Amino acid sequence: MGLEHNQQNAPRFRRLRQNSSIRSLIQEKTLSVSDLIWPIFVIEGQNEAIDIPTMPGVQRLTIDKAIEAAKFAKKMGIPALCIFPCVDVKLKSEMCEEAWNTNNLSNRAVAAIKSAVPDILIMTDIALDPYNINGHDGIVKNGIILNDQTVEALVKMAIAQAKSGADILGPSDMMDGRIGSIRTALESSGYYDVIILSYSAKYASAFYGPFRDAVGASNLLIGDKRTYQADPSNSDEALRLVARDLAEGADMVMIKPGMPYLDVCRRVKDTFLVPTFAYQVSGEYGMLMAAFNCGMLEEESAMLESLLSFKRAGCDGVLTYFAPKLAKILNER
Catalytic residues: 202, 256
Q: Determine the 3-state secondary structure of 59 from DSSP.
A: strand
Cα separations (Å) of 137 from 28, 106, 155, 187, 286?
A: 39, 16, 14, 24, 23
46 contacts 64 by C-beta, under 8 angstroms: yes
269 contacts 238 by C-beta, under 8 angstroms: no
172 contacts 126 by C-beta, under 8 angstroms: yes
CA 46 – CA 12 distance, rounded (Å):
61
Q: Determine the 3-state secondary structure of 202 from DSSP.
A: strand
Q: Which of 247, 242, 260, 250 is nearest to 309 (CA)?
A: 260
Pairing of strands 252-256, 276-280: parallel
